[in-house]
Amino acid sequence: MSSAATTVAQSVPGAASAVAAPESGTGSTPNSPTPPGAVPGGRGPATDYAGYRVIPARHPWRWVGTAVVALGVAGIAWSLATNPRWEWGVVAQWFTAQSIVNGLLETLKLTAISGALGFILGFVLALMRLSASPLLVSVSWTFSWIFRSTPLLVQMLLWYNLGYLYEKISLGIPFTDVRFFEAQTTTLISQFAAAVLGLTLNQAAYSAEIIRGGILSVDQGQLEAAAALGIPAWRRSTRIVLPQAMRAILPTAFNEVIGLVKGTSIVYVLAYSELFYTVQVIYNRTQQVLPLLLVATLWYVVITSVLSVFQYYIERHYSKGAVRTLPLTPLQKARKFFATHAPARRDTAQERGTR
């Protein structure tokens, strides 16, 4: 067999490596020099890609869609800038007026109080819904069913007119004459109290379902493993369940808070001086309806934009356990962009100068 292989190797030029490969297993004899352009190990000559031209991928329809959208945005911007009926001077005049700022502060106060109380009560209702007690489950389910089934406007009017149903509100021992506190309902349920009651209870009904869904999204196997390790129940809830549930709760919870900001405009039916009611009072007096509505719209946009920024950073904080590296903040993205593109631009400028 070896003599035949030698004969073939001598008669066919370049076939020595191909025939000798089964015997040596390396494809070349030991200590043999590597031919020019070949990769060490006998894998053949390396391909030189230096002369190849890189052709970028073509996306013509992407550019067409971008052009169409850009024309639409430019048309809207041109209309806003050139149509005198928007009355931007009136908007600028009333945007920071004292009455508008006072109404804005009342809107923020309603949002903060109702949002905080609503989520606290919603958390309690969610725990009741997840408990093993049939009574607690039934009460929590009934509460969410009633307040999610009725419009917020109806709830507002009902709480404001509670004095027609109950003349007095008292606190004491049920089914006895013992009273610790008693007051007239019309005195106790003011415009502000009715607004807070309506917004809080409505928010609690939705928050309870959001929090319950977030808790149920956590794998129950983790709780079983933590219980097997002897971790106390409170620590399991605060250290294992809630940090993971927050990733599912936060996006929907912030949507509810943003909806609550805009939902405060319903309080105008109670003649409470929040932002939208204040705007109504002003344009009823000045007849500048559209500019004043635009003032309210811009303030709502500012509030929701600030909440969106807070949402981004809070979600980024709670994503630590789900991603290997945290997503870059807008400032970090800008720094990375300039750090990666600025040297290339300088090098290009230097090359053009040398040419």
Per-residue pLDDT of 190-215, as tens digits, reads: 899 999 999 999 999 999 999 999 88
List alpha helices for 229-274, DSSP H: 233-236, 242-263
Looking up tokens 């000559």 gives: 45
Please provide the average confidence, as pLDDT, over all residues in the chain: 82
Q: How confident is the model at residue 3 (pLDDT cuts 50, 70, 90)?
A: very low
How far is the C-alpha of 78 from the C-alpha of 75, rounded, in Å?
5
- In this predicted model, which residue has the larger pLDDT, 87 or 349? 87
How far is the C-alpha of 188 from the C-alpha of 302, rounded, in Å?
34
pLDDT exceeds 50 at position 4: no
Q: Is 348 left (phi over 0), alpha (psi -120 to 50) or beta?
A: alpha
Classify residue 15 by its DSSP letter.
-
At residue 353, the pLDDT reads 53
Contact between 106 and 192 (Cβ < 8 Å)? no
Q: How confident is the model at residue 26 (pLDDT cuts 50, 70, 90)?
A: very low
Report the share of the chain in percent with pLDDT over 70.
82
Region 219-234: mean pLDDT is 82
pLDDT exceeds 60 at position 247: yes
Contact between 111 and 262 (Cβ < 8 Å)? no
Note the pLDDT tens digit of each residue in 40-70: 555 667 777 777 888 888 888 999 999 999 9
For residue 45, what are the β-bridge partners? 38
Q: Taking each helix axis from N to C terminus, what angle separates 191-216 and 98-130, rounded to the nearest 10 degrees?
A: 40
Nearest-5° angle of CA 121, CA 124, CA 127?
150
Q: How confident is the model at residue 321 (pLDDT cuts 50, 70, 90)?
A: low
pLDDT exceeds 90 at position 106: yes
Of 156, 152, 184, 179, nearest in space to 169 by CA: 184
Contact between 201 and 125 (Cβ < 8 Å)? no
How far is the C-alpha of 127 from the C-alpha of 241, rounded, in Å?
13
Residue 107: in which H helix or E strand, if any?
A: helix 98-130
At residue 322, the pLDDT reads 67
- To the question of pTM greater than 0.75 for the whole model, the response is no
How far is the C-alpha of 223 from the C-alpha of 236, rounded, in Å?
7
Maximum C-alpha span of the chain: 122
Q: List, in order, residues 6 or more apart from 291 with CB less than 8 Å away.
A: 86, 87, 88, 90, 91, 94, 283
Contact between 277 and 103 (Cβ < 8 Å)? yes
**Strongest mean pLDDT among 218-222, 281-285, 320-324:** 281-285
Q: How confident is the model at residue 290 (pLDDT cuts 50, 70, 90)?
A: very high
Contact between 277 and 98 (Cβ < 8 Å)? no
Task: Give the SS3 label for residue 230.
Answer: coil
Contact between 290 and 86 (Cβ < 8 Å)? yes
Region 263-274: mean pLDDT is 90
Classify residue 29 by its DSSP letter.
-
Of 106, 115, 101, 98, nearest in space to 273 by CA: 106
Least confident of 29-38, 129-138, 173-182: 29-38
Least confident of 139-143, 200-204, 314-318: 314-318
At residue 107, the pLDDT reads 95
Note the pLDDT tens digit of each residue in 152-196: 999 999 999 988 888 888 888 877 877 788 888 888 888 999 999
